[in-house]
Structure 1
Amino acid sequence: MIDKENKQEKNQEAGSVEIEVYTDPLCCWSWAFEPQWRRLRFEYSGKVKWRYIMGGLIANWDSFNDPMNSVNRPLQMGPLWLEVKYKSGMPIQDKVWYQNPPKSSYPACIAVKAAEMQSPTAAEVYLRKVREAVMLHGKDISDWEVLQKVGHELAKAQPGLLDGEKLQQDMGSKDARSAFEQDLQKVRLHGISRFPTLTIKKAGEENGVMIVGYRPYEALQTALEQVEPNLQPTKQATDEEAYKAYWHDATAREVQEALGAGVA
């Protein structure tokens, strides 16, 4: 298991194409985008490297306003999540906004940066588990105890990937908060206002392509071709169980995408 995680980390840190992913653990469109994003990382394993920038979607509900979706309070988020569920095919627990609404996405963002202090792969897998906690299980990921529990459960499920105790300590550290603040500054500097947003460029070059919002897999392929015309996939998913095992688990929609059957 540890060897597999080390291999995934090497894949994440090596490649001829660099991708920065602006996202937020509480962003429903980022969750909806997981099938396409997972497929890209699987098919171009070893050819691309990536890092996550935490977007800080909701500081608090007193300051949050999303005029595009007419959302400025928790109850209004539920219908948006329901819409995303049906448009994307990804399972989403929209009732969290009626039963257990998160107060902010900042704690989850800081927790992901704390996980990143251990390794990029630890951060990636932890981010996924935090998403699952709210999107699938309706947990309040603005609660530090919930975030700590996610870390401890991950440490137990995948030994050697993450130190749960260290994660808990680092969540309250100045270093994790500083790392998140640096991400926020980058979001503001580049004028990122929608998540997910991906910036894709050839390694060592300044200019590249930006993908904004929920997009089909073909849009990602086109962007990769623009940046590196000679880039070719290293593998294709052909078996459902093998693909699930690669990620430790996957939703039905993610398997559907990986096997080449997009959503209408």
Structure 2
Amino acid sequence: MSAGPPAPLEVVEYTDPLCPWAWGSEPVFRRLRGALDGQVRWRRAYGVLFDHDDDPAPDPAAETAWYARYVAGIAAHTGAPRAAALTRVAASSWPASQVAKAAERQGAEIADRVLRRLRESVFVLGDPADTVARALDAARGVPGLDADRLAADAVADEVVAAVRADRAEARAPLPEAFAPPGGSPHPGAVKETPDGELRYALPTLVVRGAAGHRVVAGWRPYEQYAAAVAELSPGLPCAPVPPAPEEALARHRSLTGPESAVLARGVWPPPHAVRVDTAGGPLWLHPAEAATHPALRPGVSPPR
């Protein structure tokens, strides 16, 4: 009896919607997902960067000022946009993680777009989606999204349990994550949480296949992630030719400068792109995305 074709690789992305290093890794991860599209199982596990049980800061204003400087320092490495003003440090990652997990029930494309809006709540608007209401509002208007279903699913027992399982999985790091190679401003060694648990640094990719597994932690160049995949499945990832700027923007709906450099080929930006300025450079939106994007809604002050 034939054993059949080998099971596809699984790529697990340990992340958090509100993590600045994960936001800065989007150019590489978007490129890698495109190169692996349909050939692997890509799964996101939400590591809960800001937990419910974290102690509140004694001086929220001072903490917010410190965290804004921290994000600015990360953006200096990654080139990612950042908000000029941060209203607060996120009180919790649970609401955004629940909304992101709930969006997966509506398909991969909707999930990607909802997660993108959640990331942009912090790093474009400076107003983290740290309550369910704020997270749902950030996602409002995503084309094809069933908003009522998202609101119900985000608080459903099954979704909360799935985020809880993600959190636990992120706190069971593989041995390779404890001493990753250097050469990065964020090498991605395992972190100790305020309650004494150990979890993967965010982001971390774990690639699993019949031939074993590979761990790639921290902020890394595309080639390191691609090499981990190729070691377990020679021939992957493929190297598709980047599309024209118009097609890239239509596909991704929202692109930063670093993303446009690796996800599009041609003169950037395309003529119809809508520019949103931030302290860390512009974000470019497709017109259909701009029509409902929180940064451009009537009565909302645009980021500077």
TM range (shorter): 0.7 to 0.9
Q: Which residue of 1 aligns with 2:66?
A: 76
RMSD: 2.4
Deviation at 1:197, TM superposition (A): 0.6
Given that residues 136 and 151 in structure 2 are in contact (C-alpha distance below 8 angstroms), is that contact kept between their aligned partners in structure 1?
A: yes
CA, structure 1 residues 83+149, in 2 after alignment: closer, same or farther (shift >3 Å)? Answer: same
Deviation at 1:214, TM superposition (A): 0.7
Identity within the alignment, %: 27
Quote the Cα distance in structure 1 between the aligned partners of 2:17 and 2:237.
30
Given that residues 152 and 165 in structure 1 are in contact (C-alpha distance below 8 angstroms), is that contact kept between their aligned partners in structure 2?
A: no
Q: Which residue of 1 aligns with 2:75?
A: 85
Q: In the alignment, is residue 29 of structure 1 matched against residue 17 of structure 2?
A: no
The structure having more radius of gyration, on CA atoms, is: 2
Secondary structure in 2 aligned to 1:21? Answer: strand
Given that residues 56 and 184 in structure 1 are in contact (C-alpha distance below 8 angstroms), is that contact kept between their aligned partners in structure 2?
A: yes
Given that residues 50 and 90 in structure 2 are in contact (C-alpha distance below 8 angstroms), is that contact kept between their aligned partners in structure 1?
A: no
Given that residues 21 and 219 in structure 2 are in contact (C-alpha distance below 8 angstroms), is that contact kept between their aligned partners in structure 1?
A: yes
Given that residues 11 and 41 in structure 2 are in contact (C-alpha distance below 8 angstroms), is that contact kept between their aligned partners in structure 1?
A: yes
Going by fraction, where is helix more abundant, 1 or 2?
Answer: 1
Corresponding letter in the other structure for 1:180: V
Given that residues 200 and 209 in structure 1 are in contact (C-alpha distance below 8 angstroms), is that contact kept between their aligned partners in structure 2?
A: yes
223, 226, 229: which one pairs with 1:224?
229
Residues paired across the two proteins, number: 231
Of the two structures, which has the highest relative contact order with CA contacts closer than 8 Å and spacing of 6 or more? 1
166, 189, 204: which one pairs with 1:183?
166
Give unmatched runs, 5+ long, in structure 2: 1-6, 174-197, 266-304
Deviation at 1:64, TM superposition (A): 8.3
Corresponding letter in the other structure for 1:89: G
Q: Which residue of 2 aligns with 1:6?
A: none
Quote the Cα distance in structure 2 between the aligned partners of 1:231 and 1:194.
25
Corresponding letter in the other structure for 1:42: G
Q: Which residue of 2 aligns with 1:69?
A: none
Given that residues 12 and 43 in structure 2 are in contact (C-alpha distance below 8 angstroms), is that contact kept between their aligned partners in structure 1?
A: yes
Give unmatched runs, 5+ long, in structure 1: 1-14, 66-71
Structure 1 stretches of 4+ moved >4 Å: none
Quote the Cα distance in structure 2 between the aligned partners of 1:94 and 1:63.
26
Q: Which residue of 2 aligns with 1:4?
A: none
Q: Which residue of 2 aligns with 1:196?
A: 203
CA, structure 1 residues 206+106, in 2 after alignment: closer, same or farther (shift >3 Å)? Answer: farther
Deviation at 1:234, TM superposition (A): 5.4
Quote the Cα distance in structure 2 between the aligned partners of 1:258 and 1:119.
22
| Cα deviation 1:110-134 (Å, max 9, x = unaligned) | 1112222333433222111111122
